[in-house]
Structure 1
Amino acid sequence: MGDTVSSHLDESRREMITARTSNVMKEFSDMYEQQYAVALFNSVRFEIEGGGGTQSQLLHRKDPLAGRSIFSGSLFQYLEENRKWRNRFISVPNSYTISIYDSKAAYERGLHPKVTINCAGYRALTSMEEYMELLNTNLSDIKGKGGVNPVIKCATQFPLILWHPYARHHYFCVMTEKEQKKWHAVLQDCVRHSNNGLSEDSTVHTPAFTDAVRLLRQSKEHYGTWDMMCGTPPQILANLVMETLSPELKNVISPRLKGKMHQRQRNWMLISDGVYRQVLSQTSGQYHALVEACEAQRAPLDARIRTDMDQIITSKEHVSSKIRALVLPKAEKLLRSSVQPYINSILDALMEPTSRGFAEVRDVFFKELVELSKNSLNIGGGEKLGEHMERLSMLAFHPVKMQSCYEKVDQLNLEGLQQRFSVSSPSVFIGRAQILMGEQMDNAVYTFEQIFNQRLEAKGGEDMCKTIQRCQDRVLKKFDYDSSTVRKKFFREALLQIIIPYMLQHLAPSCSPDLPRFKELIFEDFSRFLLVENIFEEVVLQSVTKDIMMAVKEAAVQRKHNLYRDSIILSNSDPNLDLLGETSPVDWSSKFGADEQESPISFGTVGEGSGKKRRQVVSMIQLEGMPLPYESCLEVPGVELIPEEDAEVSEEKKEAKEIENTGPLDDPKSPDSVNEIRDLINPVVEMLVCISKDDQNEMTNGAKPTTGTTTMEDGLKEQVIHITTVVEDVPSKSPVDKMSPQTILQKLAGSPHRESVIKKAIDEIDTAVLEGDGEKIVEVAKSDTESPMPLTTDSSSCLNREDKILKPADTEGMLG
């Protein structure tokens, strides 16, 4: 593979790539320096004048993932070097990068990962058909039919693929559908947070960078949203270079690629990855040098802005009025004819899935609190409460639990509007809405934690359910208000992102030629802070803002969207809550002495502090129904170890049904029906009693009222009301089929299907013992007991626990 890349990316071609990257970076640097001064002026002005925003009702956690990692587990990875599937250990720290290790032991020793994946720009896929469709769309010159001659042959029927338009693709697979769903949720969360955009905390660098990139793309007639505006600034710049460079290289290189269709596709992906890494390395170095140069000029620029602030603002207002007189008539005409008729349609397409997503966030949060209340009522104890609160505190960062919320927004569809308004895809808005949903969930959880902790310290553990209920109601009211505020802001920003580029694209041809003459109205000392291009865009923005605000305000009146009206203001409604926000987060495990070993724990990598324990948000995945011995660099298991889909699904359904019918004995829940309440009052215990053939004739299948007593394992005698007798015929086996327990265990030691063999071995032992004594199975039902015995479901329990076997002499009183 290396020969293929080096042969097509020779020295001359690499020099051409370097030159093209330098040209793009030169254009970007000029625009960034201009926008840096403008962004600095706006930041200082906002600092001096202030800007009032809607006050949040919920508290915000500063560093929610401190001391945490998101996930870790083992799966199979496809290696391009030798085209083999190997077992790998994956760790996802709180930075949402994916670190790949040879084994769990290497991870725990703090070794450097073999591969680290930054998921910005990637897409997480779960089917080879979807992957081939994307591949054929991206490689239009090197097409192959979906499902025929795939690029790779997946080892199982549950693949996980990370796809990128320019960088290398990553292929994984797991053994079960349940694992696939869990891993897919984790990978999607990594992509979501990596694509979240630049930090809003930087009030100068972020707006300067985004405006420079947007203006540079507009100069090349690329208006509208851009899917690859994601990741770090060097990654975004590399995407900007590859946007034009990749098609040109493809046209030159693809005709020279040899081999079958899938081989040519694989070779081109490796070549594209080589080009992308070269471009990314160059953009990283040049961008950091550019930022340092601008930062060196920040102090004198800041001093001048503060000194001449009033004169700069006056000059800007004068120029704005002149540009407004030129632009407004044209903008209003375009607005009336081509924008206003579509605002409500765009808003409806955005509102319905987004509102459903936020409603699901509320429901998930409510259900978790109900579960917390039920467990505190049934189980009690500070240790259990601490464990449940620990899990609740990380609810917003649990990809699997939040998946139902995110799926609601995935239904957002702008079909019919995308082409008209140059929207590449709705993924930009979907990702932003999902990030806001996660933030609101964490705010609600953190606020509940602080209020609940305050109540506990004030009143202790008395009447826990009522305390939880009151805190829950208080937080939900605040969540409803903040949810409405956040959604309305999101709708306004989304409408601006869709409409403003459309208007600029149609107004630029007629207005841009007249803009240079307005530069003469700006003093030379202020020319770095006032650019006519920015003022022109601000005028266009002001022309459409009123219509957007009115549309969102009218939508807030409709009850179906669950939005508060703008007239409802809850500012300073809960001043005591602000004081709680200044306190440190509650460590529930140490507060109630919870056993931290029960919480999933992972170990930090070298970059995060070697050997430092970090609690995981999501529990580690283990294979269902079989052990996971693949902790070293092993190949993918043979076909005999990969469970069939139908058998696996049926087994999962069977286990789910058993859990549903019996429930965990150590974690009881509140009764949900009248019959369950009656069972709690009059518990029933089923016991297996071995009897002889002579007594069999005296017993019949059915219920027979009787009285008597039986001796329990604690020595107390309990009264028996009735006995249900069931006689089962056990087919005899030939001596050849019978095996001793030692023989069974020897065969078990080398078997790959250990759990199934264990179960079969137990059945063999049960049958051998019962046939040897000539005994039958009798079920005895007993009620009116205050302390029920554990439920026995098979004869193996009788064999392993002698204290629960009732001898015939003990049953004489029961049988009358």
Structure 2
Amino acid sequence: MQVDLMKTHVITVMAEFGRFYEQQYAVALFNSVRYEIEGGGNTQTQLLHRKDPLKNKSIFSGSLFQYLEESKKWRSRFLYVGDSYNISLYESKAAHDRGLHSKGVINCAGYRALTSMEEYLGLLNNSLGDTKAKSASAPFLKCPTQFPLILWHPYARHHYFCVMTEKEQKKWHAVFQDCVRHSNNGESRSSIFYEQFINLNGSWCINILANLVMETLHPELKNLIVPRLKGKLQQRQRDWMLISDAVYRQVLSQTKTQHEALAQVCEVERPRLDSALRTDMDQIITSKEHVSAKIRALVLPCIEQLVRSKVQPYIHSILEALMEPTSRGFSEVRDILFSELVEVSKNTMNDSSREKLGEHMDKISMLAFHPVKMQSCYEKMEALNLEGLQQRCDVSSPSVFIQRAQILMRQQMDNAVHTFEQLVHQSLDGHSAEDLCKTIQRCQDRVLKKYDHDSSTVRKKFFREALLQIIIPYMLKQLSPSCSPDLPKFKELIFEDFSRFILVENIFEEAVLQSVSKDIMMAVKEAAVQRRHNLYRDSMVLTNSDLNLHLLGEDTIDWAGQFGGVKGEKQGGEMANRKRKQIVSMIHLDGIPLPYESCQEIPGVDCIPEEYEGQAGQDLESKKPVNPVQHVPIEKEPGSPDGVNEIRDLINPVLEVVEKDSSQLTNGMLSLEEGSESAISLSSTPDHYPLCHTTSQGSSRKYNSEFRL
């Protein structure tokens, strides 16, 4: 019975989606070919874009403890996060290094990363419908440490981890959040946008469709199965989660199969549609404009009345709610970028050799993809509050806007770092070592100017798209009862050969879009004139003075390979492919007990320094780690020093400096590496350069299904 119920829901959702997909596929192809023929002006960005930033890179890896539901025990696991942001679980680090198959892979789409058992229990206690757990009820598992990490999903299996220290928990939580953010990243497209419809990410779309199925299937399954579950509350919760996970996996499988078949049918039809479009493009455009004029004449009075009475009064308040956290996040990106570039300049002043420069540049090259370094930027966006708006405009959650803005922050940081790398690399030829520091300073100033320009442009585009994504569905819902009955009669005005490329429903939505776009553009322009959030005015023109800059390469510069920035690592060939460079710093010490394998006790020597070096050693001396499985202290065996810090202390004794609030994670500020000769701390940020720019007045049309993960 459950299988038949599941198949019925999958068939219903996919049939509805299939009709929509086939219709919009032809429309999207028409828009794509028309854009290709007519061309379109886009705003010229000042920063460069990297083609494949994560090539031969991994994000993070380390050892922690995982709860295995099959044995109901905690076991050590080695987790590896590659460039796909999927989490692979291995028996041990040695198993990963030998290339053995993983014990499992977690795709984080739709998950939430939790660090509190109380928060998890609050979500879990609602999982059985009317059955409520008391607040004092014990969970079905006990975490052996005070620092849990839980990946929670409304339908799929939950994953339980724990670490030894709070610092480890913060680092792993930042990594898990980045995995969730990357997996959930579908372009911010509203239902009226079609240009990128053809290129929709398959796995992203499949996850959306599977969750749409589960939204209606889950309540029915709960009413059917939960009353039959036996045992204590904790056992019923566990059994229900396993059933839900099994059903969700089958829904994903069936949805994927039907989606691939649907896409294949449309791709087979594409050559014929493309040929017809290129032959009759002028006639199709003329026919569409004729029908558009007729529809606008009919619906425009109703649209304008709705905009004046129920949309215009709220645009500014919605925009302000979006601008405040977004601008703080982009400002934090700039501060971290400035701090890291100043550190490169400072270190070059101490040692201007090309080898040292290559080492410093290699450290910052992956700054944008460093979850711990970028966490403070992402946290600014978490303050987005759309209460009140959610009830009025039926916005289910602000998470789609939060994650989209965070992805844009990461892109702008990577663009800025990549541009700095290209400028420095271009300037190395023909400059002496004495001029290197001044050259780096000039490159830094140019990059900050370009970042100020592009971050303003990106934010304004994000604001416009977010406002459209909030307002348009609300307007369509209000206008449909009065306008939709009159639309079918306009189909008679469209030639049968053109009917696949011209849909009256789309033309109606375009009329709604155009009517409200004027007010949205005006609101964003007024915000730019006020300069409250460092937005530049559209009326001012910026001439591109770096035409030659866009002729530079798009690929990542191999600083380590060209300048010997990283020693002891073979470049190229099989070794480079097998041992990918890890973005979040970690080294591997053989023969050390499990707590010492954790990410916290590993000093950042390969990539960007994340903690004050030496702090981990002080923590270990003050408190012996306890194995959470055996609950016994781990004694340190006597012998010769094998730690990096111990060896340094023996060779070069240094004075002990008491650091205030040393447990706090650094947020891009300069950290003093142990043994470093320089003790300069620069935290001042130069004033923003007054720049101006132009933006495209045309609005692109894209596709979006509501992200309900």
TM-score (norm 2): 0.83
- Aligned partner of 1:702 in structure 2 is none
Partners in 1 of 2:632 and 2:383 — Cα distance? 39
The answer as to 2:49 corresponding to 1:60 is yes
Question: Relative to structure 1, is the Cα distance of residues 596 and 522 closer, same or farther in structure 2, using a 3 angstrom cutoff?
Answer: farther
The answer as to 2:273 corresponding to 1:301 is yes
Which of the residues 545, 569, 582 maps onto 1:616? 582
Amino acid at match of 1:159: P
Whether the 8 Å CA contact 1:74–1:90 is kept in 2: the answer is: yes
C-alpha displacement of 1:132: 1.7
Partners in 2 of 1:260 and 1:538 — Cα distance? 56
- Aligned partner of 1:365 in structure 2 is 337
- Greater Rg, structure 1 or structure 2? 1
The answer as to 2:569 corresponding to 1:590 is no
Partners in 2 of 1:95 and 1:511 — Cα distance? 45
| Residues 51-60 or 138-147, more deviating | 138-147
C-alpha displacement of 1:631: 8.0
- Aligned partner of 1:790 in structure 2 is none
1:251-300 alpha-carbon deviations (Å, 9 max, x no partner)? 11111112222221221111111110011111111111111111001001
C-alpha displacement of 1:233: 2.1
Q: Where do 1:23-34 residues align within 5 Å?
A: 23-34=12-23
Partners in 2 of 1:267 and 1:54 — Cα distance? 54
Q: Where do 1:248-287 residues align within 5 Å?
A: 248-287=220-259
Amino acid at match of 1:75: L
Amino acid at match of 1:62: K
- Aligned partner of 1:403 in structure 2 is 375
Partners in 1 of 2:101 and 2:33 — Cα distance? 43
Partners in 2 of 1:356 and 1:576 — Cα distance? 32
1:398-418 alpha-carbon deviations (Å, 9 max, x no partner)? 000011111111111111211
Tell me, what secondary structure is at the counterpart of 1:560?
A: coil
Question: Relative to structure 1, is the Cα distance of residues 672 and 499 closer, same or farther in structure 2, using a 3 angstrom cutoff?
Answer: closer
Whether the 8 Å CA contact 2:32–2:195 is kept in 1: the answer is: no
Partners in 1 of 2:151 and 2:134 — Cα distance? 20
Q: Where do 1:76-475 residues align within 5 Å?
A: 76-146=65-135, 148-197=137-186, 206-207=196-197, 232-475=204-447
Which of the residues 446, 460, 483 maps onto 1:511? 483
Amino acid at match of 1:587: D
Gaps of 5+ in 1: 1-11, 211-228, 644-652, 674-816
- Aligned pair count? 623
Amino acid at match of 1:270: L
C-alpha displacement of 1:659: 8.7
Whether the 8 Å CA contact 1:159–1:172 is kept in 2: the answer is: yes
- Aligned partner of 1:523 in structure 2 is 495
Partners in 2 of 1:548 and 1:376 — Cα distance? 47
Partners in 2 of 1:189 and 1:326 — Cα distance? 48
Whether the 8 Å CA contact 1:349–1:413 is kept in 2: the answer is: yes
- Aligned partner of 1:637 in structure 2 is 629
- Aligned partner of 1:715 in structure 2 is none
4+ residue segments displaced more than 6 Å? 601-604, 629-632
Amino acid at match of 2:450: K
Partners in 2 of 1:264 and 1:58 — Cα distance? 55
Whether the 8 Å CA contact 1:103–1:631 is kept in 2: the answer is: no
The answer as to 2:634 corresponding to 1:668 is no
Partners in 2 of 1:351 and 1:306 — Cα distance? 42
- Aligned partner of 1:545 in structure 2 is 517
1:646-685 alpha-carbon deviations (Å, 9 max, x no partner)? xxxxxxx99746999x965531224569xxxxxxxxxxxx
1:298-333 alpha-carbon deviations (Å, 9 max, x no partner)? 001000011111111111111111211222111111
C-alpha displacement of 1:199: 10
The answer as to 2:40 corresponding to 1:51 is yes
Question: Relative to structure 1, is the Cα distance of residues 491 and 658 closer, same or farther in structure 2, using a 3 angstrom cutoff?
Answer: closer
C-alpha displacement of 1:374: 1.4
Question: Relative to structure 1, is the Cα distance of residues 204 and 547 closer, same or farther in structure 2, using a 3 angstrom cutoff?
Answer: closer
Tell me, what secondary structure is at the counterpart of 1:74?
A: strand
1:226-248 alpha-carbon deviations (Å, 9 max, x no partner)? xxx99522222111111111111
Question: Relative to structure 1, is the Cα distance of residues 583 and 441 closer, same or farther in structure 2, using a 3 angstrom cutoff?
Answer: closer
Q: Where do 1:740-779 residues align within 5 Å?
A: none
Partners in 2 of 1:655 and 1:640 — Cα distance? 30
Partners in 1 of 2:113 and 2:68 — Cα distance? 18
Whether the 8 Å CA contact 2:412–2:451 is kept in 1: the answer is: yes
Which of the residues 532, 535, 543 maps onto 2:504? 532
Amino acid at match of 1:375: N
C-alpha displacement of 1:464: 2.6
Amino acid at match of 1:302: D
Partners in 1 of 2:331 and 2:416 — Cα distance? 13
Tell me, what secondary structure is at the counterpart of 1:497?
A: helix
Whether the 8 Å CA contact 1:71–1:618 is kept in 2: the answer is: yes
1:430-468 alpha-carbon deviations (Å, 9 max, x no partner)? 000000000000000000001011111131422332111
Question: Relative to structure 1, is the Cα distance of residues 333 and 666 closer, same or farther in structure 2, using a 3 angstrom cutoff?
Answer: same
Tell me, what secondary structure is at the counterpart of 1:249?
A: helix
Whether the 8 Å CA contact 1:87–1:631 is kept in 2: the answer is: no
Superposition RMSD on alpha carbons, in Å? 2.9
Whether the 8 Å CA contact 1:195–1:230 is kept in 2: the answer is: no
Partners in 2 of 1:306 and 1:17 — Cα distance? 43
Tell me, what secondary structure is at the counterpart of 2:391?
A: coil
Question: Relative to structure 1, is the Cα distance of residues 597 and 258 closer, same or farther in structure 2, using a 3 angstrom cutoff?
Answer: farther
Partners in 2 of 1:39 and 1:566 — Cα distance? 29
Higher relative contact order (CA 8 A, sep 6+): 2
Question: Relative to structure 1, is the Cα distance of residues 149 and 285 closer, same or farther in structure 2, using a 3 angstrom cutoff?
Answer: same
Partners in 2 of 1:410 and 1:230 — Cα distance? 28
Partners in 1 of 2:597 and 2:518 — Cα distance? 61
Tell me, what secondary structure is at the counterpart of 1:264?
A: helix
Question: Relative to structure 1, is the Cα distance of residues 136 and 328 closer, same or farther in structure 2, using a 3 angstrom cutoff?
Answer: farther
Question: Relative to structure 1, is the Cα distance of residues 490 and 56 closer, same or farther in structure 2, using a 3 angstrom cutoff?
Answer: same
Partners in 1 of 2:474 and 2:199 — Cα distance? 21
Tell me, what secondary structure is at the counterpart of 2:137?
A: coil
| Residues 186-195 or 584-593, more deviating | 584-593
C-alpha displacement of 1:65: 0.6
Whether the 8 Å CA contact 2:315–2:523 is kept in 1: the answer is: yes
Tell me, what secondary structure is at the counterpart of 1:463?
A: helix
Whether the 8 Å CA contact 2:352–2:434 is kept in 1: the answer is: no
Whether the 8 Å CA contact 2:48–2:550 is kept in 1: the answer is: yes
Question: Relative to structure 1, is the Cα distance of residues 112 and 478 closer, same or farther in structure 2, using a 3 angstrom cutoff?
Answer: same
1:727-748 alpha-carbon deviations (Å, 9 max, x no partner)? xxxxxxxxxxxxxxxxxxxxxx
Partners in 2 of 1:482 and 1:598 — Cα distance? 36
Partners in 1 of 2:282 and 2:475 — Cα distance? 31
Identity %: 68
Question: Relative to structure 1, is the Cα distance of residues 368 and 17 closer, same or farther in structure 2, using a 3 angstrom cutoff?
Answer: same
Partners in 2 of 1:263 and 1:659 — Cα distance? 42
Partners in 1 of 2:595 and 2:165 — Cα distance? 16
TM-score (norm 1): 0.72
Amino acid at match of 1:667: S
Question: Relative to structure 1, is the Cα distance of residues 146 and 367 closer, same or farther in structure 2, using a 3 angstrom cutoff?
Answer: farther
